[in-house]
Chains A and B, each alone.
Chain A
Amino acid sequence: MKFITSVLTNIGGRNKNDDYAGYIYRDNSYGAWIVADGLGGHVNGEVASKIAVETALNSFQLNKSLSKTNIDSVINHANLDIINYQINCKETNGMRTTIVSLFTDSKEVVWAHVGDSRLYFFNNGVIKFQTRDHSVSQMAVSSGEIPEDQIRFHEDRNKLIRVLGSSPELKVDILKNSVQIKPGDAFLLCTDGFWELIYETEMEIDLCKANSPEEWIKFMTERLIKRAFGQHDNFTAIAVFVQ
């Protein structure tokens, strides 16, 4: 099984990009894809997201097990690194970040996330799974207050109830059982700046048009630009095709 990756990050209409993304991949062996969104309201959001991605990638490289305990320690390691940085450098005390990650041993995958950055899993061209945000809006959906498709327009969608950098104790949302993958499967990891402007149906439409993950992101970005026209937030997306 081969994984093909494309990454796009854009500053949007802001003066700095708080998003960070990275991946490691070795053919027929292992891979990890991570996207983090440093919180704009907090100082040094871009530092937090960078630490989160780099620490998590490094710590997965040391132990490539897909077990729940290992994935939990990978993300927690990233959280602790951010907290340590805050201790050493007091003015970064307020920095926070979200994280969404995908890990594979080239046969199976697991994913984990904290915050409102999302992972979508596409099987046969249709969204089979998507992560649930740790936000006030998502809670409103869970309690039946608003329908799922209203999150995009809900005022509390960016009020997060779980983030990296706020406390050494971190509850990570990890996929319970790893998933077997097949050629044709696809993944999309993205920050809120991306999914807020692209509907899930459009992700599916553009996926069945795309020859490569690069083309897939290009089609979706075209929609994003048309919709936001220079006013959009930072956005970052990683697209992965399984072949």
Chain B
Amino acid sequence: MGLKKRIFFIVFLIVITLFPNLAYAKDLGNDLITNKINEEEITSKPSAGKPYVVDCVFFFESKGNDIKSIKYRTFLSASQKSDKKTSNTIISALTNKIRKLLIILVVISLLIITICLIAIRKNMIISKRINRNMKKNTIKIRGSFNNSIKLTYANIQNIGMREEQQDSFAISNINDKKLFNEKGVFAIVADGMGGLDNGKESSSIVVESMMSYFNEKLFVSPIPIELRNMIINSNNELLDYLSRGGNIKSGSTSIAVIIKGSQLFWISVGDSRIYLYRRGKVFTLNRDHVYGTELNEKAFRGQISFEEALNHPDRKALTSYMGIQKMTEIDQNIKPFKLNQGDKIILCSDGIYGSLDEKEIEEAMKLDTQNAAIELQNSILKKNIKYQDNLTAVVIGIS
């Protein structure tokens, strides 16, 4: 409806500016019919006041006293004379026809241009950089299903109450049309650990190596296999760095997603989390690679009590992470997960989910992508948690 109204308005404006005389003639025409004034009055009207730029000639067909029909013609006149004779000459009639034709051509082309502009604007990538720490991008993509899908994303990062930011994150350039069409969108969050500088270094090596794999490598295998190669490749790069520095004790988590069309693929190592927000609820996509998961399993089998499992001091110890010699646990989907309109994907470090429960994350996600990310940060900072960990989140909205 909005589009129709806009086009109608533009056409109306063009017509008004190009045919001011038409409006005048029409007014006069209406006047004629309602008041039934005779021919002398009309023809004398233009000549009565100041000279008109436009000449109007009215043709009448009359039967007795009633005017049967009124025909009128309008044209731009070269002369300012209000004489009837000039308009009747063959030459001016011919030039008038040509002019009219030209005007119609101009109007049609203008119309086409405006329609095209509106259509392009709708499909165009609208990107907006909010500030250094906050980015929002909107892109419209054609899904493999008939409906088209729009992606928006936002991210937040905060140092919390720590001395250094050890989280790293990256999002692929969705304005790179070729990359986007070929491989979709890629987002990654990594949470480094270990000594001060090394944690930061580890997480950034992971992010950079995986990002460059996505940007540069030709994808020949199905996406889950490419993601797996990507994370193994990145682990090797991190191991290289750690051994070069004399076996530094450090590591990182890694969570990454690829969204292509309406299909989602993820991969995870460690205890960072990927959430799906759907119809008001959040669901974890990946399992935490922590000892607690194994303890739960043991309690379930009756090998230990649930209390023992819950109170075990090593519940949070990582069982798989980047920087480990043999990566045994990798969490990923091997079949595509279909995204729906209204879904959101949240990639976050434990600084987020450790400080917010699922209800609080759900509350934040009810907002639009941009504000959802901001709300995640604000609701944590509001709590003033004493040793608040670094917090990083990437939120991707599907609409």
Task: Give chain A's interface residues, CB within 8 Å of chain B.
Answer: 10, 124-126, 149, 184, 199, 201-202, 204-205, 207-211, 219, 221-222, 225-226, 229-230
Contacts and interface: CB of A to CB of B under 8 A. Distances in A.
B278 A201 contact: yes
- The contact size tier of chain B is 20 to 34
29 contacts: A125-B335, A125-B336, A125-B337, A126-B338, A184-B335, A199-B283, A201-B276, A201-B281, A201-B283, A205-B283, A205-B333, A205-B337, A207-B335, A208-B335, A208-B336, A208-B337, A209-B331, A209-B332, A209-B333, A209-B334, A210-B334, A221-B300, A222-B297, A225-B296, A225-B297, A225-B299, A226-B296, A229-B306, A230-B306
Contacts of B334: 208-211
Contacts of A207: 335
Q: Which of A10, A201, A210, A221 has the most CB of B within 10 A?
A: A201
Contacts of A230: 299, 306
Contacts of A124: 338
B273 to A, nearest CB: 13
A202 B276 CA distance: 10
B285 A205 contact: yes
A6 to B, nearest CB: 16
Q: Which of A209, A210, A219, A226 has the most CB of B within 10 A?
A: A209
The 10 closest A-B pairs by CB, nearest first: A230-B306, A208-B335, A208-B333, A208-B337, A225-B296, A209-B333, A225-B300, A201-B283, A202-B283, A125-B335
A230 B309 CA distance: 11
A125 B333 CA distance: 11
B306 A222 contact: no
A163 to B, nearest CB: 29
Contacts of B279: 149
B337 A222 contact: no
Interface string B295-331: 0110110000010001000000000000000000001
Contacts of A211: 334
Contacts of A208: 333-337
Nearest to B282: A201
Contacts of A225: 296-297, 299-300
Contacts of B278: 201
A149 B281 CA distance: 11
The SS class assigned to the B binding surface is: mixed
Given A199-B283, A222-B287, A222-B297, 13 more contacts: A149-B279, A199-B281, A202-B283, A204-B337, A205-B283, A205-B285, A205-B337, A210-B334, A222-B296, A225-B296, A225-B297, A229-B296, A229-B306
Contacts of A222: 287, 293, 296-297
A203 to B, nearest CB: 10
A126 B283 CA distance: 16
Contacts of B287: 219, 222
A209 B297 CA distance: 19
Contacts of B297: 222, 225
Nearest to A221: B300
Contacts of B333: 205, 208-209
A92 B310 CA distance: 40
Contacts of B300: 10, 221, 225
A203 B25 CA distance: 72
Contacts of A199: 281, 283
A199 B358 CA distance: 14
Nearest to B280: A149
A230 B310 CA distance: 11
A219 B286 CA distance: 10
B344 to A, nearest CB: 13
A24 to B, nearest CB: 28
Interface in B181-213: none
A199 B296 CA distance: 20
Contacts of A210: 334
Nearest to B335: A208
Contacts of A221: 300
A125 B283 contact: no
A197 to B, nearest CB: 13
B310 A229 contact: yes
A207 B335 CA distance: 8
Nearest to B292: A226
Interface in B242-278: 276, 278
A63 to B, nearest CB: 36
A226 B63 CA distance: 95
